[in-house]
Structure 1
Amino acid sequence: MRSTNNIMILFLFILLGCGITKAPSDTKSVKEPPTEDVVIGKPLPHWQDGCLDIHAINTGRGESTFFIFPDGTTMLIDAAGSTIPATAPIPPPLQRPNALVSPGTVVANYVKHFALPIANKINYVMLSHFDPDHMGSYETSLPFHKSGKFQMVGITEFGAQVSFDKIIDRGYPDYNFPVDMTADPRISNYINFVDWSKKAYGATAEQFAVGRNDQILLQRKPNAYSNFEIQNICSNGVVWTGKGTDTKNTFPSGDIVAAAKGSENIFSIGIVLRYGKFNYFTAGDLQFNGSSEHSWKDIESPVAAVVPQVDMMKASHHATANCNSEKLLQKLSPHSIVIQPWRDVHPNLETVNRMIAANNNVQIFSTNMTEANKLRFGDNLKKLKSFQGHIVARISPGGDQYTIYILDDNDENYNVKEVFGPYISI
């Protein structure tokens, strides 16, 4: 009996270390006593060993997701950096924390706050694809880095402030699919930044390798968490088959793809992260738009064939129309979905309804939403659990359950606004 009690005490201690708090009423949640670790109105406590943290950073200008793996290995996917003006025809939401802090610096400050207590750099930087809201816009007026090698916006501005070990994208080293991209000043500026980071940080660069589960690995305690894995699912139209490292190219030749003027979104990198029972899916701006004319543009269907059911996903393409198809959502059947809008049309109500149809217990969280879109949603706004703030999923050691925290994005104190969960992993 004493041995059983000791095990129970140890289990509760581990949960408290990850800031597990009392759950709201939900069919998939478990009730635990509240702890003093997480206090509404106070900064979110830092990551602790054994936890998996997934941070959706809100700048109001695109997507950025930061990960702290169970051993402290760190990864950033995308660094929101669109320079779209507030007066654009399809306007963006309010910039966070304000228009005086550029998105790249917002992401850098956030990562420095949560990551640098662990180490003086991060391990991986990955670009899901080459769109401005994921890597940064380009304007001739942008400030140059002090080296004079590149101009700073989005990912290049972030990387000028936070050092890293490796950068992964869909194009390295040639950046020639479906056409030569190097003539685009935004891409050439990024390439100059990658070359600079190799010299300045000793960083390496790689093209994302579809089918592999060993490209992104734990770096600090590689043997401590054998139940952690990142499976590379898709990129450039190439999709994992679900067997070993085998892949299938779902696109025609680059010339045909280029002639059809396929959106950059369909080239997006996609991964499934697994930690014990917990599974997470993210795939940039993956979409099925244009498939009525060219069937190969429906990249979501071959992806749906190989992904598992997941606990959480990042909504593809900000949950706008023509993405997050019924087929993909039915296969993923996510319990929690994080949306990162940056235009007035995000999220789309029809897309949200597909999410609910795939899992009527789904918990939907959005980093922001324009006032005009809130009016369009009307009473349907209740379908979202929250719609303003950074979103943090903290998965407990072993991956058996997770809690979601909403952080205030009006400043850079990262105070907790709301707490949801813990939820039991599938």
Structure 2
Amino acid sequence: MLDIHHLAYGRGDATLLIMPDGASVLIDAGAVTGADPALVQAAQGVGTDSGAWIARYIRRQLVATGRQSLDAAIITHLHSDHIGEIRRPALPLQMERAHQATGISSVARHIGIETLYDADWPNYGYPAFEGKASVENYISFVNDRAKDNGGLEKLEVGKRIDVGAIGDWSVRTVASRGRVWTGSGHEVRDIFPRRDTLDREDWPNENAMSAGFLVSFGPFKYFAGGDLTDWADAGTRPWMNALTPTAQAIGPVNVSTVPHHGMFDAASTDTVRALAARDWVISAWHAAHPSLSTIERLFNPRIYPGQRDVYSTNLHYSTERAMKRLTDRFASRRGNVICRVTDGGTRYRMIATDRDSNSGTVSDFSEQRSLSS
């Protein structure tokens, strides 16, 4: 079976894939620090090291595979809730073991990662760093891996992630750095103008350049959209929308994340219509996740027909109060969200588990969804 785990630790984004052959892929592992009241309450045991919590969760899932470490980890983009945050400046990059363990680098310290995939490696700097110290710390982690001959690969749009056995399943990069897969072979197209044609203040930001992935198992299709956005700066930079072209190239899908934590600048009507998911998953860790306008679109039957359910890994108490009319309709409002695909990709079920339980206690689950083979 294929298991897709959306982790509800409350301090960033992390999604674990366990492929039918037992191979494992981690998409992001962020760590937001501090005591901002807008943050959701962290899961029990997170403390100051989100990476340790993520690694413990991964170990529990790997028991059934007989493996001891991750086969691959993928970084969608360079924001702290996806790579890890530090509060004090990073050490100089040229120093030995310069990086501090946070987010993905903490996960790597607690559990092995065979290959790290990064769209920017080995050249960083475009767009300009947002959260400079945390990004430099992450780059230092990558450089330290290179010194230790750790596995590093450049993420390439249109191509499958080389992990596990060859079978009727795959993880394909469908968007990254303004390039989008066409849906045919390895063909890609550039969505953004060339950098040298743009004023520096018009360069796309990290979210616009995020990576996205299509996970397939037989007829089953799942989209992980990272922090891709389709708002395009309130329409003033219409070219800065890689999300909608990506959704149109791959959709419809059975299950999809709601990109950028369900915020106002992602999941436009065109994107929602193209993906037309039966089940939507929101990775939330802040009071701004998700936006009311996004949830209205997800539930709107005029955009696409049929039933749909929405699952959130967390909800801030203020968000839940402000949007009670909509959040009461969620299939799950707090907990790890697992999509379990069986029978060659012809059946799947959504499962919510208690994020504070080491035993993974099931708190809710859907009926089996059946697909045609």
TM-score (norm 1): 0.80
Q: Which has the higher contact order (CA 8 A, sep 6+)?
A: 1
Distance 1:183 1:154, change over 3 A: closer
Is residue 2:239 matched to residue 1:304?
no
Amino acid at match of 2:136: S
Amino acid at match of 2:359: N
Is residue 2:111 matched to residue 1:170?
no
Amino acid at match of 1:365: Y
Number of aligned residue pairs: give it.
Answer: 363
Work out the CA distance in 1 between the residues paired with 2:305 and 2:124: 39
Q: Contact 1:300–1:325 (CA<8 Å) still a contact in 2?
A: no
Bigger-Rg structure (1/2): 1
Q: Give the corresponding residue for 2:5.
A: 55
Work out the CA distance in 1 between the residues paired with 2:191 and 2:72: 27
Q: Give the corresponding residue for 1:212.
A: 159
Q: Contact 1:285–1:317 (CA<8 Å) still a contact in 2?
A: yes
Which of 371, 391, 397 is matched with 2:337 structurally? 391
Work out the CA distance in 2 between the residues paired with 1:156 and 1:279: 30
Superposed CA offset, 1:255-291 (max 9, x none): 5274225331001101111101110001201112305
Amino acid at match of 1:282: A
Distance 1:257 1:136, change over 3 A: farther
Amino acid at match of 1:83: T
Is residue 2:363 matched to residue 1:417?
yes
Distance 1:270 1:397, change over 3 A: same
- Name which of structure 1's ranges 283-292 and 54-63 shifts more when overlaid on structure 2: 283-292
Q: Give the corresponding residue for 2:291.
A: 348
Q: CA deviation at 1:98?
A: 4.7
Q: Give the corresponding residue for 2:50.
A: 103
Superposed CA offset, 1:74-127 (max 9, x none): 00001120114233xxx0110112563521111111111112552111111001
Q: Contact 2:77–2:211 (CA<8 Å) still a contact in 1?
A: yes
Q: Contact 1:291–1:297 (CA<8 Å) still a contact in 2?
A: no
Distance 1:268 1:141, change over 3 A: closer
Superposed CA offset, 1:307-326 (max 9, x none): 12111011101111120111
> In structure 1, the residue corresponding to 2:331 is in which secondary structure?
strand
Distance 1:304 1:424, change over 3 A: same
TM-score (norm 2): 0.91
| Matched ranges for 1:26-425 at <5 A | 51-87=1-37, 91-98=38-45, 100=47, 102-117=49-64, 118-140=66-88, 148-179=97-128, 181=129, 184-200=132-148, 202-213=149-160, 216-219=161-164, 222-223=165-166, 225=167, 227-255=168-196, 256=198, 258-260=200-202, 262-289=204-231, 290-357=233-300, 358-425=304-371
Work out the CA distance in 2 between the residues paired with 1:84 and 1:361: 39
Work out the CA distance in 2 between the residues paired with 1:276 and 1:142: 44
Q: Contact 1:315–1:337 (CA<8 Å) still a contact in 2?
A: yes
In structure 2, the gaps of 5 or more residues are none
Q: Contact 1:335–1:359 (CA<8 Å) still a contact in 2?
A: no
Q: Contact 1:178–1:254 (CA<8 Å) still a contact in 2?
A: no
Work out the CA distance in 1 between the residues paired with 2:248 and 2:324: 35
Work out the CA distance in 2 between the residues paired with 1:140 and 1:155: 17
Q: Percent identity?
A: 25
Work out the CA distance in 2 between the residues paired with 1:376 and 1:280: 30
In structure 1, the gaps of 5 or more residues are 1-50
Amino acid at match of 1:373: T
Amino acid at match of 1:208: L
> In structure 2, the residue corresponding to 1:111 is in which secondary structure?
helix
Work out the CA distance in 2 between the residues paired with 1:95 and 1:237: 33
Q: Contact 1:52–1:67 (CA<8 Å) still a contact in 2?
A: yes
Work out the CA distance in 1 between the residues paired with 2:247 and 2:341: 25
Work out the CA distance in 2 between the residues paired with 1:69 and 1:120: 15
Distance 1:375 1:183, change over 3 A: closer
> In structure 1, the residue corresponding to 2:174 is in which secondary structure?
strand
Work out the CA distance in 2 between the residues paired with 1:142 and 1:371: 34
Work out the CA distance in 1 between the residues paired with 2:109 and 2:336: 23
